[in-house]
Amino acid sequence: MDRAGLTGISFFAGLPEDELDVVAATAVAVEFAEGQALTTEGDLGHCIFIVESGEAEIASGGETIGRIGPGEIVGEIAVLSSGMRTASVVATTPVRALRLFKRDVWALEQTAPEAARRLRAALDVHRA
């Protein structure tokens, strides 16, 4: 992925160019069809997803608890905290997202501290 591909995603707006380069070097674009799961509650979480386009529904304990769309993140609770997926996320439209593996997310602390701070802020919001 290149830096230009990240600039259209609100999560990355205003990040320093060197941090955009770090994220671009590790992020992989992935696509999910409508009805396909991005995450499954109870599974081990080995990556996060940052939605580029499309929408998905979040469910926990079999009940819908929210929806996500462009610029939003899922999977950070498992990657940064519990290790286990706390919710299922299923695409309600075709979804294009960026995937960052756990090792890359943890490396951001050193290589892209503002991006890491934003991920931790998202974690705090989702835990609340």
Q: At what angle do helices 102-111 and 113-127 cross, to 10 degrees?
A: 120
pLDDT over 90 (residue 93): yes
Closest alpha carbon to 47 in 74, 15, 8, 68: 74
Q: How confident is the model at residue 119 (pLDDT cuts 50, 70, 90)?
A: confident
Q: Decide: helix, strand or coil at residue 27.
A: coil
The pLDDT tens digits of the residues spanning 3-30 come to 777 888 888 888 999 999 999 999 999 9
Closest alpha carbon to 61 in 38, 86, 82, 29: 86
Q: What pLDDT does 122 receive?
A: 84
pLDDT over 80 (residue 127): no
Domains and CATH numbers, the chain: 3-127 (2.60.120.10)
Contact status, residue 25 vs residue 70, Cβ threshold 8 Å? no
Q: State how far the Cα of 61 lies from the Cα of 66, in Å rounded to an integer.
A: 13
Lookup: tokens for 16: 């320093």
The pLDDT tens digits of the residues spanning 37-71 come to 999 999 999 999 999 999 999 999 999 999 999 99
Task: Give residue for tokens 């979480």.
Answer: 45
